[in-house]
Each structure stands twice: as structure tokens, then as C-alpha cells.
Amino acid sequence: MINLNGTLLSAEDANISIDNRGLYYGDSVFETIRCYNGKPLFFEDHYFRLMSGMRIMRMDIPQSFTPEYLEEQITHIAQTNKSIHQRIRLTVWRDATGFYTPNSNTVAFSITVDVLENSYIDTPILEIELFKDYYVQKNLLGTIKAANKHIHILAGIYGKENGYNDMLLLNEEKNVTEAIAGNIFLRNGDKIKTPPTSDGCLNGIMRNKVIEQLKKMANYTIVEESISPFELQRADELFITNVIHGLQSIKQYRKKSFVNDSAIELRSLLVDKIF
């Protein structure tokens, strides 16, 4: 089933126009949300990031787009299947004619649901590499979940063709910003670093939850600082975060192997808190 503008439809009946601006120009924003027993996790955080993204994209926010309304729409479609763990995608696009310049800023939305097999588990990323063909830009557009993901797509293709499990993206200053589908954390001793959003990384929901948790832990110090590629091979540990997989440890970068001590500790604390 698909929720199209508040109406549940079968995939065959959920039709949008061929000149949809999300398709033509990537003129859309989206949120990927994890549901547990039909309940969206961290919904308030997702909601405010969606609203921020719509404002940055100069989209009109309908009066109906209250937290209660959107959570109800998500819960409705999540409960159409009986799986415990689900991935929800909420997509909002500018529903207007025009070419590069739209004739209006009104929006439409869809919500889709996919089954996830399990809770957050340790699914280590075996090996990573830097993607250096194109760079993430240091501006507000990098912090939102917009549909223009050309760099991430090309990084994914490069990684697949060269046998890597994930790729790290760089900004124009050649600092590490994020992985293809998650934020990056680096640990040296008891100090853990993650790039600030001003470096061009996504304002990740799980990133913020991990930062909040680390600030409560006496055995680690968390800082938001730029990460140079040269720091990667000197690190004790690297891990990637997102709301679907939680924390994923990186085992190998070039000739350097990493431990996963803090990732295991953090994952245990977060799973207990969430589930």
C-alpha cells in the first residue's frame, strides 16, 4: 500500500504525473523513518527536520502538515502490515508546473513502507574508501534530506565497482563529511569526533542521538570538529550512524584495521533505550 496525499492506495493505483517536479528536477525532500510495532521512532526529530528542509527549499507548508496529522498518516500505513520493524519513506515534492522556476510552491506527498528484518544489530561495514571524484558543498542544502543525491549515487557505484562496502564523502576543503547513507564518527582513545553540520554533512537523527548519549558518558569526550583524511589511519575506531541500521562499525580502511569497542557499548545503550 502507498499513502498518496492522505489516501491509501495500491501500488498499481498510486499514480503521479510524468512531469512531476521530483522526477524532473529532484525538487523534493524526504525522511526515512524507522517504525517499531507501527510506531515511528524519533518522530518529532524527523518532523522538524522535514519542516526545515521544506523552508530551505521555499516550499509552502500546508496548514494540515501538523505533527499529529503526519504521524497519523505514517502510523496508518505502517499498520497495514504486521511486521515489527519497518522502514517508512515520507516524500514531499513541489506540486507545480514550470521548468526550473516553478509556477507555485504548493506540495504533494507520499508515504511508503518496507519491512525490516530485525532490530539494530552489529552489521559491520567491512571496508571503506574515500570518494574523491566530486565534493559535498558546505551549505544548508547539505544538511537536509533532498532528492538530489548525485554524489552519493556515484559514490555508491564507485564503491560497488571496486569492492568497497561504503564510501566516505569529502567537502571542497577535502575534509571528511559523511558516508553514503550515514554520519561518520572517529574515536582516538577516549575522544570521539564527528564533523559539524557546517562541513556539509546531513543533520542526522541518529547522529544527534549518539551525541546526546556520549555527552552523558564519563568515559568519552565528544566534539564536533572537521576530520581530515589523514586522521582516518590514525584512529582507533570508526563507525557510521543512521536511523535504519543504528551504528555500523568499520573494520578496514586501506591498511588500517579498527576495533569496535565504543560502537558496541553505544549500540547496547541505544537499543535498550529505544526498544
The answer to whether residues 148 and 240 belong to one domain is: yes
Shared domain check, 137 and 64: no
Task: Note down the domain range covering 104.
Answer: 2-116
Q: Is the domain of 105 the same as that of 66?
A: yes
Q: Percent of the chain having pLDDT more than 70?
A: 99
Task: Please give the tally of structural domains in the chain.
Answer: 2
Residue 206 contacts residue 242 (beta carbons within 8 Å): yes
What lies within 8 Å, CB to CB, of 30 at 6+ separation is 89, 90, 91, 92, 145, 146, 147
Q: What is the model's pLDDT at position 231?
A: 97
* pLDDT at 275 (0 to 100): 72
pLDDT at site 29 = 97
3-state DSSP call for residue 31? strand
Domain boundary among 81, 116, 151: 116
Ranges of residues in the chain with a pLDDT under 50 are: none
Show which of 72, 94, 116 is a domain's final residue: 116
Q: How far apart are the first and last CA of the chain?
A: 26
Q: At what angle do helices 205-215 and 261-274 cross, to 10 degrees?
A: 100
Prediction pTM value: 0.94
Query: What CATH number has the domain bearing residue 156?
Result: 3.20.10.10
Looking at the structure, do residues 210 and 76 belong to the same domain, yes or no? no
Answer with the one of 72, 97, 116 that is the final residue of a domain. 116
Pair (145, 198) in one structural domain: yes
Identify the residue whose cell numbers are 558516508.
179
- The CATH number linked to 59 is 3.30.470.10
User: Are residues 132 and 112 located together in one domain of the fold?
Assistant: no
- Count of CB atoms situated within 10 Å of the CB of 58: 9
pLDDT tens for 126-174 read 899 999 999 999 988 888 899 989 999 999 999 999 999 999 999 999 9
User: Are 47 and 152 part of one and the same domain?
Assistant: no
